[in-house]
Amino acid sequence: MGPITSAGTGWEDLAHSGIREREQGSVKTAVKLLNDALEIAPEQEDRMFILNHLGLAYFHDGDYTSAVDKWNKVLTVSNVQGDPFLNAKAVALRNLSRKELCETEKDYKEAVSKANEAREMAKELKRPDLPWFTHGLFSANYAYMKILKNVDMGVLKKLVGSEKEELKKVWKTAPKLERNVWLGALLMDYAVVYDKVSKPLLKIARFFSRAVKLRRREEQITKLINEIG
């Protein structure tokens, strides 16, 4: 979901509150707070940060059109501005790789390409949220493999291994909200590749998400449990 700024005054405080509301399931409140932050953010780089998070709030509210519009705006600006906006570009690409935005086989293939580009950029930039990017690449690959009806567990296990190691490296320094979100994602991915422990593991992940009030992640895990059957 990208780095979360520390709570502060003005736009930073609004953005931080909006992100937290989104992750706890109050997406409409999040949209309002993030739009308010966008109106008063002083710098273009600040606005790109907010647009990425605002797009994610729209996405989780089911408004995919608005979500894609925000992320494409970030890409447009970052492609013009270059290096100062590479962080924003990486996040936008990661978000645009989501399987929910895909309809055709070509869409799924392009999603994998975007997720891979985003992760490579994140590695080059030494972003602390690399586990989030790896989860995105895992999700895009898995969705594309299912469309092709050719799931390569070797590739997925390698990605899960990387995601696990990346999370371990940043666990002590990452903000609590972020690391809890990333842990939920790792457990979901782990359940996909190790099916013998999938349902028990997902139930533990759901309990944990509920305990820390990450409603959005709880809903995602419940959906995956239902898909497993």
Q: How far apart are CA 106 and CA 151, in angstroms?
A: 17
Q: What is the pLDDT of residue 196?
A: 58
CATH, domain range 1-96: 1.25.40.10
Q: What is the pLDDT of residue 5?
A: 42
pLDDT digits over 37-80, tens only?
A: 999 999 999 999 999 999 999 999 999 999 999 999 999 999 88
SS (H, E, C) the chain: CCCCCCCCCCHHHHHHHHHHHHHCCCHHHHHHHHHHHHHHCCCHHHHHHHHHHHHHHHHHCCCHHHHHHHHHHHHHHHHHHCHHHHHHHHHHHHHHCCHHHCCCHHHHHHHHHHHHHHHHHHHHCCCCCHHHHHHHHHHHHHHHHHHHCCCCHHHHHHHHHHHHHHHHHHCCCCCHHHHHHHHHHHHHHHHHHCHHHHHHHHHHHHHHHHHCCCHHHHHHHHHHHHHHC
Give me the residue spans of the domains in the chain: 1-96
Q: What is the pLDDT of residue 146?
A: 96
Q: What is the pLDDT of residue 72?
A: 97
CB neighbours of 40 closer than 8 A, spacing ≥ 6? Answer: 10, 11, 14
Q: What is the pLDDT of residue 203?
A: 79
pLDDT digits over 209-222, tens only?
A: 787 777 777 888 88
Q: What is the pLDDT of residue 224?
A: 75
Q: What is the pLDDT of residue 3?
A: 46
Q: What is the pLDDT of residue 138?
A: 98
**Averaged pLDDT score across all residues of the chain:** 89
Q: With a cut of 70, which residues of the chain have pLDDT below it?
A: 1-9, 196-197, 228-229
